[in-house]
Amino acid sequence: VFVQPQPRAGENFERYNWDAPILVSPHKASRLYFASYRVWKSEDRGDSWEPISGDLTRNEERIQLPIMGKQQSWDNPWDVGAMSNYNTITSLSESPVTAGVIYAGTDDGFIQTTSDGGASWRKIPVTTLGIPARSFVNDIKADLYDENTVYVALDNHKEGDFSTYLYKSTDKGTTWRSIKGNLPAKTIVWRLVQDHVNKNLLFAGTEKGIYTSMNGGAAWHKVPGAPNISFRDLVIQKRENDLVGASFGRGFFVLDDYSALREMTPASLKKEGSLYSIRQADWYVPRSEVGNTGADYYIAKNPDFGALITYSLDKGFTSKSKARKQKEKALEKKNASIPFPGWDGLEEERREEKSKIWITIKDSSNNVIRNIEGTGKKGINRVAWDLRHPSARPISPGQRTGGNRWFRGGPMAMPGTYTATLSKEVNGVVTMLDGPTTFTVAPIFESSLKGISYDAYKAYIADYNATQTQVSKVSNAFSKSMDKVKAMQVALSRANAAPGAMNTKLHALKQQLYDFEEKLRGNQSKDEIGERSKPTVNSHLGVARRGMSTTYGPTPLHKQNLEIAKGMLSSLYTEIMNLSNTTIPQLEKELQAMGAPYILGQGLE
């Protein structure tokens, strides 16, 4: 629907800036403001408009203005249609505190303000701020907390002036002071937004990235992650506490949940470790609806799923090896001799354990749900808990991480109240740094079909984990038994004995293990080509596992398959125990008596 205000009968054309400002009143959603060279107001969402000001600009004939120091001929190759209009309003803002307190900024050096909804306007030349007369008002923002306070960002780069112009007034524009603080020189500020909870937390979109101030503009810090490019617009998504920045030519960037910045103080940043508030974590099963589209669509990375945990460290962790190399690098730059650290020093480096940061998640009953290893760099760090319990799968010696999520994380945690604590581990000593911090995990909507209770779900997880552990024991015992029998066949071939009865016994044992493998894992020949086998303990356990992968929880179908798996496992457990603990050790003794070579893993005598 086209809503742009148009000149009324007999009026001249409406001069709109290329980026003409449109504003939804913070006091009434159906009230809109739009600006050309004057300010328009609509009370019906843009269906009709009335001007509430006269011309707030210089109202000049731009073809008469000097270019390169002089007025140019009409016969010059003008193409003003390809440019924005001049003498236009570029910025609008209404005080969220008091309706009718409106500020407007122009492209030709004026700030205009009204306190009565447009009945009267007061003109403030930008020279009042001590800056060039035709400076462009990039942005003007009424303070969210005080009707008398207003912020303005200006620039004069069209006249070769790249100075940083960022000002604040606490008396509706009568007097102004600079709040550019320590922003880098020649940094044009395009946009400024104020946090809706902490009045001193500001964000500035500049020609050189995004900056934030936690003290009302006295000092500024570069927001890491955003590229060093021009950000022409900023907006805050208040529900999620997300900062969204629109860059000039490189798309949108989102700083997810910046709320920790509200709590950061010089004292908290000087603490060895500080843990900040955690917003509510949405409980659902993430999935992709797009699929494999190749280059058909551009898809940006989603925010990390789960509970986003933000903390700060006053100093980062470094290893002895890294510290030594940094010192050596500095000496190398000076072309100085590099001392030998000594064999004991090198051995200390080799034995040193990596220092770790731990985030410990507990439920409302103080049960540990998950330990998450975080990053240990100096400054602000962030890690996400994926709302899952840890994996209960048995660990193989030498294993560090698993290959899929069932190794990395286990079943979903239930909605409820949780706490997070921050600690460090250095040389095996764990020290609490901060916490606990309480947060909630909540479903994104209430389903009409209620799933299993938390207590029943925990009992199911325990039952499943115990069964999975037993299956892993059986599978591991089978693999080791098969490896042992194959090694025994090799040892037999090197024994000082002629082939005979032992060859027959090992062959029979190997065939017995193949039969066992089929009962445990299915027909391997069928599996090789994708043909289905008769259901096994693993296939039934796989169905049971699916009951922990949804927000609904396990159903009677999942429970039934878990019970079937447990029943099948009982006989398999007994069979492999007899083979690995009785049959194989007996044959090993017979092999040793025949003078066969030692098999690694037979233990010390």
Q: Is 358 exposed, middle or buried (0-12, 13-18, 19+ CB in 10 A)?
A: middle
Residue 494 shares a structural domain with residue 562: yes
User: Is 210's pLDDT higher than 90?
Assistant: yes
d(CA 579, CA 512): 9
Mean pLDDT of 80-104: 94
Mean pLDDT of 210-237: 94
Residue 270 shares a structural domain with residue 253: no
3-class secondary-structure state, position 474: helix
Residue 435 shares a structural domain with residue 540: no
Residue 501 shares a structural domain with residue 464: yes
Strand duo 202-206 + 209-213: pairing: antiparallel
- Nearest of 39, 27, 214 to residue 140 by alpha carbon: 39
CATH number at residue 415: 2.60.40.1220
SS (H, E, C) 351-414: HCCCCEEEEEEEECCCCEEEEEEECCCCEEEEEEECCECCCCCCCCCCCCCCCCHHHHCCCECC
User: Is 290's pLDDT higher than 80?
Assistant: no
- Nearest of 378, 377, 360 to residue 369 by alpha carbon: 360
Q: Which residues pair with 252 in a beta bridge?
A: 246
Residue 477 shares a structural domain with residue 553: yes
Q: Is residue 3 domain-resident?
A: no
Residue 33 shares a structural domain with residue 149: yes
CATH number at residue 162: 2.130.10.10
Q: Is residue 599 domain-resident?
A: no
Q: Which residue has the higher pLDDT, 4 or 78?
A: 4
Question: What DSSP character marks residue 183?
Answer: P
User: Is 406's pLDDT higher than 50?
Assistant: no
Q: Residue 587: which residues within 8 A CB-CB, separation 6 or more?
A: 488, 502, 505, 506, 509
Q: Which pLDDT value is given to residue 401?
A: 60
* Mean per-residue pLDDT of the chain: 92
User: Is 164's pLDDT higher than 80?
Assistant: yes
Q: Which of 153-157, 294-298, 452-456, 546-550 is predicted least confidently?
A: 294-298
Could you tell me the two tokens for 322? 């890294």
Residue environment code for 72-104, b if the CB has 16+ CB neighbours within 10 A, otherwise e = eeeeeeeeeeeeebbbbbbbbbbbbbeebbbbb
Mean pLDDT of 354-373: 94
Residue 180 shares a structural domain with residue 119: yes
Q: Which pLDDT value is given to residue 295?
A: 65
Mean pLDDT of 399-416: 69
Residue 204 shares a structural domain with residue 56: yes
Q: Which pLDDT value is given to residue 402?
A: 52
User: Is 508's pLDDT higher than 90?
Assistant: yes
Q: Is residue 76 domain-resident?
A: no
Instruction: Note the pLDDT tens digit of each residue in 61-71.
Output: 988 888 888 99
Q: Is residue 431 domain-resident?
A: yes
- CA torsion sign for 371, 377, 379, 384 is negative
Strand duo 39-42 + 32-35: pairing: antiparallel
d(CA 229, CA 247): 7
Mean pLDDT of 506-527: 93
Instruction: Note the pLDDT tens digit of each residue in 18-61.
Output: 999 999 999 999 999 999 999 999 999 999 999 999 999 999 99
Whether residue 436 is preceded by a cis peptide bond, meaning omega within 30 degrees of 0, is yes
Q: Which residues pair with 547 in a beta bridge?
A: none
d(CA 113, CA 92): 10
User: Is 497's pLDDT higher than 90?
Assistant: no
Residue 86 shares a structural domain with residue 194: yes
Q: Which pLDDT value is given to residue 533?
A: 87
User: Is 405's pLDDT higher than 70?
Assistant: no
Share of the chain above pLDDT 70, in %: 96
Q: Which pLDDT value is given to residue 258?
A: 94
Q: Which pLDDT value is given to residue 200?
A: 96
Residue-number span of the structural domain to which 322 is assigned: 318-349
Mean pLDDT of 439-444: 93
pLDDT band of residue 289 (cuts 50, 70, 90) is low
Q: Is residue 14 domain-resident?
A: no
d(CA 599, CA 514): 22
Q: Is residue 469 domain-resident?
A: yes
Instruction: Note the pLDDT tens digit of each residue in 541-574.
Output: 999 999 888 888 899 999 999 999 999 999 999 9
Q: Which pLDDT value is given to residue 76?
A: 87
Q: Which residues pair with 34 in a beta bridge?
A: 22, 40
Residue 41 near residue 53 (C-beta atoms within 8 A) = no
Question: What DSSP character marks residue 67?
Answer: B
CATH number at residue 538: 1.20.140
Name the residue with tokens 């551009």: 298
Residue 442 shares a structural domain with residue 542: no
Q: Which pLDDT value is given to residue 336?
A: 95
Q: Is residue 95 domain-resident?
A: yes
Residue 426 shares a structural domain with residue 508: no
Mean pLDDT of 109-130: 97
Q: Which pLDDT value is given to residue 192?
A: 97
Number of domains in the chain: 4
Q: Which of 95-104, 378-387, 544-553 is predicted least confidently?
A: 544-553
Q: Is residue 140 domain-resident?
A: yes
Q: Which pLDDT value is given to residue 536?
A: 92
Strand duo 281-283 + 429-443: pairing: parallel
d(CA 592, CA 590): 5
Could you tell me the two tokens for 408? 């990395």
Residue 459 shares a structural domain with residue 570: yes
Share of the chain above pLDDT 90, in %: 78
